[in-house]
Amino acid sequence: MRFSRMLLPTLKETPSDADVVSQKLMMRAGMIRKVAAGIYNLLPMGLKAVRKVEGIVREEMDRAGAQEVLMPMVVPSELWKESGRWDEYGKELLRLKDRHDREFCLGPTHEEVITDMVRREVRSYRELPLNLYQIQTKFRDEIRPRFGLMRGREFVMKDAYSFHATDESADREYQNMYETYTRIFERCSLEFRAVEAETGAIGGRFSHEFMVLAETGEDAIAACDKCSYAANVERAEVREADSAPGASSDKKIEKVNTPGKRTIEEVSAYLRIKPSGLIKTLIYETDKGTVATLVRGDYDLNEMKLKRALDASWVKLAEEAGVNGATGAPVGFAGPVGLKIRLVADLSVRVMKDAVAGANESDAHIINVNPGRDFAPEYADIRNAVEGDGCPRCRGTLSIKRGIEVGHIFKLGTKYSYSMSASFLDEGGKERPIIMGCYGIGVGRTAAASIEQNHDDYGIIWPKPLAPFDCEVVPVNVKDAGTVAEAEAIYVELKGAGIDVLLDDRDERAGVKFKDADLIGIPLRITIGERNLKEGLVELKERKGGAVRLVKRDEAVAVALGFVKG
Ligand code: ATP
Ligand code: MG
């Protein structure tokens, strides 16, 4: 490809509406342009990078035995009503009507469509298992589209769905997909971790997110420094350093005035006690009734864990009136002592001694509160993991890292096959619901995540497998006929050898061309200049690491080939 002919509008300035490095660089490198919030044009350079990711995904999915299909983006509401998600999904689902006033949505995910496809075609256990995937455009009306391709409203996803007669078969495919995803992200040269993820209503440990480690990641991950344990902070378990209560205290409970001091910070500053010496009491409304939750003052309650501990289908922080009804006090003064509702305490509370808690009356707290002696809660792990917590699997320590979720695998069980009556006949001729799994990869997000991990002050540093071009040829001065002749010859030779080459044939200053080369980040640059040519030499420069070598003109193509294929 000739730079002069390519729609490759590089920008010198960083666009003001870009927030993260990948978005800035994709804009500056002429890869993407915004059409509307979360909706982008992919320019040739952008599309080439995205196609590289797609290619790897497709190869590995095919190798894993999955079959590619293509489903429609516009989906009739009937299917979503059958599964119950038409009402559940909320505003991310973009709904529309056709000329006959029939309701449709733009597919944000395709469990309904594929379950419908399979229930029409599959009758017997003999036709199972099946794994069907597509690489297709999704639409989710995200509340905060941002970060370019990372969180778009319209974006390309690889979504796969598997169908099984038995649980064992579904578990095997889950493992197969786990390994396939690992290979895909390794081939994309990403530094990532597979982390245990929240499964929502379905439960079990059958969901992993594949997280690319990057400071700009929107998710927090707790990862062990000794073993392979890693989990989304939403679900990371915590090994309490010491969960056995010590000898009980003989100090008596005492009420103290705390006028207008409601928050942990205010109370701890006022009483000159560290937040870790306070018990934080939060009142929750749940489908299992009203509960008071207790965590150590310096920790945060984790609502997902609370939901699981209560086996509740929803939990919601009580409003002023609810708190008042449960404690008889305004918000900010709740405490466990004397409270008549269900108490659920985090494990960290069990070992607290002479703690401070709310007095259940206005402007007062009590000190010298001792769990066990002064109140008897149920205990459960209901707090967020923090840096330095003990690993739940080994003696190691957890650290908190930021991650970008690029993939998600999930064992669905019979959620959709049950609600949509997708069944098969087993060996005994009995009708059973099909067992399902689903597996997604954000294609554009993966390309963006690669840039988050591979860039410097000058631009993108593409890893070879995702690079839009293998090699860039830069004639320093296109007014010099000798330079142009050699550059054209090398360009033709490389193309002949099956290498995807960009020739910067623009009549621009060398500085401009080098800046753009660094910005767009092609792994290898071959620079052809008059001075080197006189000695029969050209320069090869690697974008990653910056290594430069002068090689004989006649050997340049062979050396470049060795680099690209190596
Ligand atoms: P997130 O928590 O980031 O919103 P999700 O849990 O909604 O992601 P899934 O429904 O599991 O995502 O979708 C599968 C994959 O699709 C994700 O792992 C991610 O890589 C990608 N993806 C999801 N939402 C977006 C988006 N708005 N823009 C780009 N890619 C997305
Ligand atoms: Mg989402």
Region 448-477: mean pLDDT is 98
Identify which of 250, 245, 191, 184 has the alpha carbon closest to the alpha carbon of residue 217.
191
Cα(442) to ligand 1 centroid in Å equals 6
Identify which of 378, 379, 463 has the alpha carbon closest to the alpha carbon of residue 189.
463
How buried is residue 396: exposed, middle or buried, by Cβ count under 10 Å (0-12/13-18/19+)? Answer: middle
pLDDT reading at 383 higher than 50: yes
pLDDT at residue 204, as a whole number: 47
Let me know: does 301 contact 294? Beta carbons within 8 Å.
Answer: no
pLDDT at residue 244, as a whole number: 63
pLDDT digits (tens, 9 = 90+) for 392-416: 889 999 999 999 999 999 999 999 9
Q: Ligand 1, closest atom to CA 159?
A: 14
Distance CA(337)–CA(48), nearest Å, equals 64
> Position 123: which residue type?
R
pLDDT reading at 27 higher than 70: yes
pLDDT reading at 203 higher than 80: no
Which tokens in the block code for residue 329?
């006090």
Of all protein residues, the one whose alpha carbon is nearest to atom 8 of ligand 1 is 405
Give the three-class secondary structure for 84: coil
pLDDT reading at 337 higher than 70: yes
Q: Which of 43-52, 230-239, 352-361, 502-511 has the lowest mean pLDDT?
A: 230-239
Alpha carbon distances (Å) from 25 to 18, 144, 460: 9, 21, 7
The ligand placed nearest to the CA atom of residue 136 is 1
Give the three-class secondary structure for 535: coil
pLDDT at residue 205, as a whole number: 55
Cα(143) to ligand 2 centroid in Å equals 10
Distance CA(423)–CA(435), nearest Å, equals 9
Cα(505) to ligand 2 centroid in Å equals 43
Alpha carbon distances (Å) from 501 to 302, 422, 492: 51, 50, 9
Of all protein residues, the one whose alpha carbon is nearest to atom 3 of ligand 1 is 405
Of all protein residues, the one whose alpha carbon is nearest to atom 31 of ligand 1 is 442
Q: Which of 134, 233, 445 to mutate to test the pocket of ligand 1 (most atoms within 8 A of CB)?
A: 445
pLDDT reading at 510 higher than 60: yes
Which tokens in the block code for residue 431?
């009708």
Percent of the chain at pLDDT > 90 equals: 92
The ligand placed nearest to the CA atom of residue 445 is 1
The sign of the torsion formed by the CA atoms of 320, 325, 331, 335 equals negative
pLDDT at residue 199, as a whole number: 65
Of all protein residues, the one whose alpha carbon is nearest to atom 18 of ligand 1 is 407
Distance CA(122)–CA(127), nearest Å, equals 6
Cα(59) to ligand 1 centroid in Å equals 21
| Residue list, ligand 1 pocket, CB within 6 Å | 109, 140, 142, 151-152, 155, 157, 405-408, 440, 442, 444-445
pLDDT at residue 544, as a whole number: 97
The ligand placed nearest to the CA atom of residue 109 is 1
Cα(108) to ligand 2 centroid in Å equals 9
Q: Ligand 1, closest atom to CA 152?
A: 28
pLDDT at residue 245, as a whole number: 64
**Mean model confidence pLDDT for the chain:** 95
Q: Ligand 1, closest atom to CA 108?
A: 10
Residue bearing the bigger pLDDT, 332 or 203: 332
Let me know: does 124 contact 432? Beta carbons within 8 Å.
Answer: no
pLDDT digits (tens, 9 = 90+) for 244-259: 666 678 899 999 999 9
Kindly state the helix (H) or strand (E) to which residue 344 belongs, with its residue range. strand 342-346
For 40, what's the count of Cα atoms within 13 Å in the CB-facing half-sphere? 29
pLDDT confidence tier of residue 243, bands split at 50, 70 and 90: low
Task: Give the predicted TM-score (pTM) of the model.
Answer: 0.87
pLDDT digits (tens, 9 = 90+) for 144-190: 999 999 999 999 999 999 999 999 999 999 999 999 999 999 999 99
Alpha carbon distances (Å) from 433 to 98, 128, 171, 240: 33, 12, 16, 41
Of all protein residues, the one whose alpha carbon is nearest to atom 21 of ligand 1 is 442
Region 283-294: mean pLDDT is 96
Of all protein residues, the one whose alpha carbon is nearest to atom 30 of ligand 1 is 442
DSSP E strand stretches across 492-532: 501-503, 524-528
Percent of the chain at pLDDT > 70 equals: 98
